[in-house]
Amino acid sequence: MYENEKEKLLAELVQQGIKDEKVLDAIRNVPRELFVPEILRHQAYKNVALPIGKGQTISQPLTVAIMTEALKVEKGMKILEVGTGSGYQAAILDYLGAKVYTIERDFDLFKEARKRFQELGLKIATLCGDGTIGWNEFSPYDGIIVTAAAPDVPKPLKDQLSVGGRLVIPVGSKTTQIMHILTKTGENEFEVEKIPAFQFVPLIGLEGWKNEL
């Protein structure tokens, strides 16, 4: 199903600069239509973010592809995701052979994503809580991906990354961010690459934005 739409999307991702065949293959094979509300399924292979309820979104496929490519996932890597949302990004990482740990602060979205993982037979570790403080119990991680906008890079996430690991996170204001790709080169040393410009929902928590609701 959705074969034509999928091929069009993949061609668009290649045209936008995505080169990693493994990432393209994951996007081809993980059924995005199962991670969006039923009434939006016909839009699942459009290169757009879509609402998933609770004022949150499943990220645009190009953004998922850029972040996943930046993480340089290899089979068996331990990856932490902050911001489970629909669970789609976590499923992409799982498809690439990573052992995925994912944290969501919203209890309803957390429950829905956990149910989806069960139905799809995905062995993804889930936690409902504040991902800005990471998930220390299983650290260090070979990669950390944050799928919400942070005012700065949370220190606990830097600490929970293994040396040689990569941390991919949008940093900036609540309205626009620059993707930061940190590589941990020593105990407290990082190299940083930056890609403009993205628009994520805010990362809310102790080391993120304050909850103003």
Among 147, 165, 171, 179, binds ligand SAM (CB under 6 A): 147
- Residue 59 annotated as catalytic: yes
Considering only the stretches 11-19, 85-93, 159-167, 186-194, report the one whose residues sit in contact with ligand SAM under the rule CB under 6 A.
Answer: 85-93
Q: Does 103 contact ligand SAM by CB under 6 A? A: yes
Q: Which is nearer to ligand SAM, 10 or 204 (CB)?
A: 204
Among 68, 130, 160, 168, binds ligand SAM (CB under 6 A): 130
Q: Does 208 contact ligand SAM by CB under 6 A? A: yes
Q: Does 177 contact ligand SAM by CB under 6 A? A: no
Of residues 42 through 81, those in contact with ligand SAM by CB under 6 A are 56-59
1: Cβ–Cβ under 8 A, 6 or more apart, which residues? Answer: 33
- Around Cβ 173, how many Cβ atoms within 10 Å? 10
Among 27, 82, 144, 179, binds ligand SAM (CB under 6 A): 82
Give the three-class secondary structure for 139: coil
Among 69, 94, 104, 112, binds ligand SAM (CB under 6 A): 104
How far is 13 from 19, CA to CA, in rounded Å?
9
β pairing state of 99-104 and 78-82: parallel
Minimum CB distance to ligand SAM, residue 77 (Å): 17
- Around Cβ 5, how many Cβ atoms within 10 Å? 16
- 73 neighbors 93 (Cβ within 8 angstroms): yes
Query: How big is the chain, counted in residues?
Result: 213
Which amino acid is present at 135? W
Closest CA to 68 of 186, 198, 181: 181
How far is 1 from 75, CA to CA, in rounded Å?
28
How far is 36 from 55, CA to CA, in rounded Å?
13
Tokens of 211: 């909850």
Q: Which is nearer to ligand SAM, 106 or 142 (CB)?
A: 106
Of residues 186 through 205, those in contact with ligand SAM by CB under 6 A are 200-201, 203-205
Q: Does 83 contact ligand SAM by CB under 6 A? A: yes
Q: Does 86 contact ligand SAM by CB under 6 A? A: yes
Residue ranges in contact with ligand SAM by CB under 6 A: 56-59, 82-83, 85-86, 88-89, 103-106, 109, 130-132, 147-148, 200-201, 203-205, 208
Give catalytic residues, as residue numbers.
59
